[in-house]
Structure 1
Amino acid sequence: MTEKNTSGRGQRELRVRVKTAKGRKLSSTLWLERQLNDPYVIRARKEGYRGRAAYKILELDDKYGFLKPGARVVDLGCAPGGWCQVAVERVNALGQNPKKPVGTVLGVDLQEVEPIAGADIHVLDFLSDEADGLVKGWLGGRADVVMSDMAAAASGHKGTDHLRIVALVEAALAFAFDVLEEGGTFVAKVLAGGAEIQMQTMLKQNFRKVANVKPPASRSDSSEKFVVAQGFRGRERAVETED
C-alpha cells in the first residue's frame, strides 16, 4: 500500500518503510522494502500481472515485434506466468480480436503453475528426451517463438552463477533448434560476464538478426540482459557448436 502526498507541491508516492522483524535478516528486509517500492511491482499488482518480469517481455516485444497475432509461442520455465500472460494478449490467444488470427501459448515448467486463461501449461522438464516431441504435439506444429526468463539457482558466487545461466540458455537454445519454425524467434535472459561468447556465436550462425538488450524494466543494478534472435535459418542448417 502507498500513500500520496497531495500538497500544492504536486503529487508523489511516499516510500514504504519496512521494519526489521525478529528472525528476519537485514538483507531480507531491504529486499522486501525494495519490492514494495518498485514501480514495476506496484504496476504489476494494479494491472493483474503475476510479477514485474511481465514488463520485460512487453518492452522487448514493443521494440522487436515477435509476439504477433496468430503466433505459436513456447515459454520455458514459465512460472509464475507473467510472460505467458503477456503472450496471450499479444498473439490473440483468446480470440478477443475477431479480425486477427488466433495464436497459441504453451508454458512449461518443472513445477505446477496456476492456470492462465488462453495458455496451455504443462509440468515438463524441457531437457528430457521426449520434451521437443511433446511440445510440437501440443502446439500442433513448430513454434514461432521460444522464450525463456529462466535463471539457475543462485550460489552466491557471481562467476559460478554466470556459468550456470549460460549453460541453461545454451540448453534452451538447443531445444529451440528442435522446435522453432524457420524464421522464428528465440528470446532469453542471460547474465553479462564473458562466458557467453560461444553462445553468441551459435546465435549469429543460426539467426539472421541477434540483439543484446537490457529493457527498462530490468533493474539497473542487475547484470541480466536479454538476447533477441530473429529469423531462424532452419533446423537442417542449425549449428550447435563451433567448427
Structure 2
Amino acid sequence: MYIRSSSDIPKLGESSKTKFRNEMKMRRKIKDYGSPKLDKDFFDKNPFKELSAARLVYSALFYSESGMDQIASEIAKRFVKRRWKEEANRISKETNPENLLKIMGQRPDNLNHRLLKIKILSFSTVTIPKIIEKLMDNQEDIFVELAVSIIYESKIDCSSQLLDILDSIEDPYTLSLVCLLLGFIGPKEAIQPVWNYYHFLKGKYPTENYEQGPLLALYEFKERFGSKEKPSPNTM
C-alpha cells in the first residue's frame, strides 16, 4: 500500500519521435474518448500482447517484491565480471543524489540496475520529485524503465504528480510506461486519462506497441477497482 506522501519492444524512428514530441508541445490535452468501459467485451476485443516492452515492465513491477531481479543479477555477475564492476563501485560510493540520477540517464549496465535503484531509493524524498520532473522531457528508454520501478518501489503516493505531467510528456515510450505505472498506483480518477491515451496511441501509431502501456494499466485498474470477470495479465 502506498502510504507516504510525495511532499515528505519496437521503438519509433527518430523522425517519428520528433514529430510526436512537437505534437505533444502543441497539444497539451488530447481528445476525450468517452467514458471508460472496462468490461469483458472491451478486454476480449483488446487483448494485451505477450511480447512487448510494456509487458516486460509490467511483469517486473508485478514481481518487484519477490527479489527476482536481485537473484538474476547475482547469477549474471558470475559470468560477467569486468564490464559492470567499475560502474558498480562508482554507484556504491556515490552519496550525491544528483549524480545518481545522472547515472540513470547514462544507460547503466543491466547488472547494476538493482544496486542503482537501492541507492536512489535511499534518497527517495529528494530523488522521486526530480525523477518525475525529468520524465517530461526524457528520451532514454532505460531511464523511464528504471524510473517507474523506483517510483513503484518507493511506496510514495505521487500519482497526482504523475497525472499533472501526463500531458507534458514528450516521448511516446515514456508516456506509455507512466500510464502503465498509474495502473498500479493511480486512483480511480486516473482511469479516464489512461483510457484516452490508450485510444490515442493505438490510433496514432497502429504499427507500434506504445498503446500496450495504457492497455495493461486498464487491466490493472480492472483488477483493483472493478469486478474480477477479466483477470490481470499475470493471473492468465
TM-score normalised by the chain length of structure 2 = 0.30
The structure with more radius of gyration = 1
Q: Specify which structure has the higher proportion of helix.
A: 2
Normalized per residue, which structure has more strand? 1
